[in-house]
Amino acid sequence: MSYEVMVGNKAAATAVKLAKVQVASAFPITPQTTITQYLSEMHANAEWDFDFVNVEGELSSQVVVQVASRVGARTFTCTSGPGLLYMHHPMQTTGSGRLPVVMAVVHRGYKGMQPDHSDLMSQQWTGWSHWYVEHAQEVLDSILMAYKVAEDPRVRIPVAVGYDGYVLSYTAEPVEIPDQALVDEWLPPNKPIPSILPDEVDPETFSRGWGGGDPQMPWKIHHEAILGIEDVLKETMDSFEKTFGRRYGNGMIEPYMMEDADCAIIAMGTIAGTCKAAVEKMQKEGKKVGLIKLRSFIPFPEKDLTEWAKKLDGIAVVDRSICPGKGGPVYGKLKSVLYEMEDKPKMLQFHAGLGGKEVRTHDFEMIGDKILKAAKGEKVDPVTWV
Amino acid sequence: MIEIRFHGRGGQGAVTASRIIAIAAYEEGQYSQAIPMYGTERRGAPLTAFVRIDDQRVRERELVHNPDISVVLDPLIAKQQAVVDNLKAGGLVLLNTQDEPEDVKLGGDFKVATVDATTIALETLGRPITNTAILGAFAKVTGLIKVESIEKALKKTFPGRLGEMNIAAVKRSYEEVKGPVQATVKEAPEVKADIHVGGYGVLKDVSSWRVFTPEIDEDKCIGCKNCWIFCPETAIEWNEETKKPSIRYNACKGCGVCANECPVNAIEMVRVEA
């Protein structure tokens, strides 16, 4: 075990090295660029045996890792914002192929370069698991966990690990680097599934067709496989803690100072860190607001959040992305999850951090005050643009 | 928690300085976080970087808005009241300037320390990259971090000869820094320039970016137009009647390409008086 003060992107590249990825391919785009630089450097220094495939764009980088994964390699790619959109088409095939690719998505907005979650949120239909993480240590740890989950024979689903550009990708902070021997033991080499040919009719590959029969069947199986990630991720978080001594909630969510909370703020990514500082301050002032950090958006932690909702008077959902004309994706999803509940908590929608707008500690204090008021039955605007 | 704001220009190493402080703090068992404020900065554009030091993992990821310490790497930016904007009462500003701390015109309730980091950098590194040349002064006047930890962090960041040169700059600035003294001007003058925003383009006055200013010796000039062709900012105008170039100084950021391209050394780069 060693420590280094490193930026978020170095933490991602370090995880790729620890996981002994066999094939990496990426096209540089700010704020992801330095991951490709670190990987190129590691390749030039022959730090371990892997192929780094330079490509002319993100469509190709996704195809490279897809085919490498199909023949059994452990693979990695990374991108940001518009690069992810360009990757959209082959991402579907990677998802449909049930290929355990791991990708870092360094969030970059569309309306300007600063980060929001629009990029990864726009890829909900590609059949991947989507995680959102908060700090550099969590970037490193989550990429390791992503391989463990993605390659699990019960899962075989690609995982996108999203983290905010600039304020995390380029921010330096202390990171603990686990011992290689421990990682090797905890994360054995990828064991490819027996049938690798895309057109072979085999229930374990769903690349193209189903070989006749019900054309909906691959969708059903794919959907259920992603829902199944919940148990595997929770198991993985437990074994990760046993081996490396760190954990992030149960993997799906990370509650923070929720023990005595009447209300919760739900947030994802770096702003959840700022929210932790705000929650500490509020609880010192006697305000019973905690944070539930959402780590996995797909699959959505339906069971966990339903359990929490039973205990809470109010939930403030902070969405860092918006489907224009439709609204915040986390708020919409959570509201539908809680529909069947009797005696539901009050819910408020907050739009924050879009286009990279800074979300400050006092913004979360405002959010906390509003949800406490709403929970008491006072009239509060249901939607707030922070 | 201690919060620090760095002011500098692209190319002076404010981001590297912020990371070296973060590494050095961690070497001493503190947690740290170094956030650069990136936009589309280029060499010469004003920029900002931030550091937090705390005894627990830093959770906040907003920028630093009320710093305890402001560090200014550039002598011309150091003249702007904005560098002490929102500095905590009783805080500290460390300026790269040739002025004595008592002569600094920035106003408000804070302490002032000064060091001529540009001269130190030019004499030890051969370039006006002032980031390491201010870190020794930082260690001395803040007392937050030992100078040995900064040297250790520098060795990690710049292995070999480059590291040794930078350590020499650190040692000199540790010796030469003056202050801190209470700011002599009590009333804060109005903040005129927004130095937090990088900017660039033909409409923008970039004259404050220069560390060196090109001056043309018309007697030596042979009218070859090389400077006019090579100026990346189209800051050089051609006078067809006199067959001589002239410089539009508000468009010149002092890159020195013209002086480098002149075949007869008719352009001299003159250090800007800070």
B108-137 as b/e: b if 16+ CB within 10 A: bebbbbbbbbbbbbbebbeebbbbbbbbbb
Q: Which of B52, B56, B62 to mutate to test the interface with A (most CBs of A within 10 A)?
A: B62
Give the pLDDT band of residue A353 (cuts 50, 70, 90): very high
Q: Give this prediction's pTM.
A: 0.88
Interchain contact A136–B (C-beta under 8 A): no
Higher pLDDT, A98 or A351: A351
Domain locations in chain B? 2-182, 207-271
* B49–chain A nearest CA distance, Å: 10
* CA nearest to B31 within chain A: A174
Tokens of A43: 């390749």
**Structural contact between residues B71 and B4, judged by C-beta atoms closer than 8 angstroms:** yes
Identify the structural domains of chain A with CATH numbers, from first to last: 2-244 (3.40.50.970), 253-385 (3.40.50.920)
* A3–chain B nearest CA distance, Å: 9
Fold designation for B2-182: Pyruvate-ferredoxin Oxidoreductase; domain 3 (3.40.920)
**What's the gap between Cα B138 and its chain centre?**
14
Interchain contact B62–A (C-beta under 8 A): yes
* A117–chain B nearest CA distance, Å: 16
Interchain contact A173–B (C-beta under 8 A): yes
Interchain contact A5–B (C-beta under 8 A): yes
- CB-CB: which of B26, B38, B40 is closest to A5? B26
Q: Give the per-residue pLDDT at B197.
A: 45
Q: Give the per-residue pLDDT at B274.
A: 60
Cβ <8 Å between A167 and B32: no
Cβ <8 Å between B59 and A171: no
Scan for tokens 């002011």, then name that residue.
B7
Cβ <8 Å between B26 and A273: no
Fold designation for B207-271: Alpha-Beta Plaits (3.30.70)
Using a CB-CB distance cutoff of 8 angstroms, which residues of chain A are in contact with residue B20? Answer: none
Whether pLDDT at A116 is above 70: yes
**Single-letter amino acid code for the residue at A128:** W
Residue pLDDT, tens place only, A205-236: 555 555 566 778 778 888 999 999 999 999 99
B79: left (phi over 0), alpha (psi -120 to 50) or beta: alpha
- Smallest CA-to-CA distance from B66 within B50, B77, B46 is with B50
Residue pLDDT, tens place only, B118-165: 999 999 999 989 999 999 999 999 999 999 999 999 998 898 999 999
- Smallest CA-to-CA distance from A100 within A55, A147, A53, A47 is with A147
Using a CB-CB distance cutoff of 8 angstroms, which residues of chain A are in contact with residue B58? Answer: 173
pLDDT mean over B77-103: 94
CA B244, CA B237: separation in Å to the nearest integer?
9
